[in-house]
Amino acid sequence: DAMVIQNPRYQVTQFGKPVTLSCSQTLNHNVMYWYQQKSSQAPKLLFHYYDKDFNNEADTPDNFQSRRPNTSFCFLDIRSPGLGDAAMYLCATSGEGTGRTYEQYFGPGTRLTVT
């Protein structure tokens, strides 16, 4: 089945220690998104890639970076995690030109704990 996969599902890192979260998709969608979701809050968009074109949200801290080496993979790098970065990180994809352009499909998420 076509899907969005995130690894790891749970990640524990130390304060200030860089961490990378990964996302892969078999949907062949050209847009990939990274969201941060804290408890009882709506998902907050950090950035997205339209093909190779990176689009950062104005309020995303510089501490958060992303890479998309190819259509299938996208990475979220947190350079110096703080306690406030503990959250669920959700990867999503959408396929423009598929007729269902704005429908986003989410991976299972990576729950990040910062100690």
- CA–CA dist 43, 38 (Å, integer): 7
**Rule CB under 8 A: which of 25-64 touch another protein?**
31, 41-43, 45, 48, 50, 55
- Minimum gap (Å) between residue 27 Cβ and another protein: 13
Q: Does 81 bind another protein (CB under 8 A)?
A: no
- Minimum gap (Å) between residue 81 Cβ and another protein: 20
Residue whose C-alpha is closest to residue 78's, from 4, 16, 7: 16
- Minimum gap (Å) between residue 17 Cβ and another protein: 24
Q: Does 7 bind another protein (CB under 8 A)?
A: no
Residue whose C-alpha is closest to residue 47's, from 37, 35, 63: 35
What's the Cα-to-Cα distance from 74 to each of 83, 84, 109, 115, rounded to whole Å?
Answer: 24, 23, 13, 25
Interface residues with another protein (CB under 8 A)?
31, 41-43, 45, 48, 50, 55, 88, 90, 94, 96, 100-109, 111
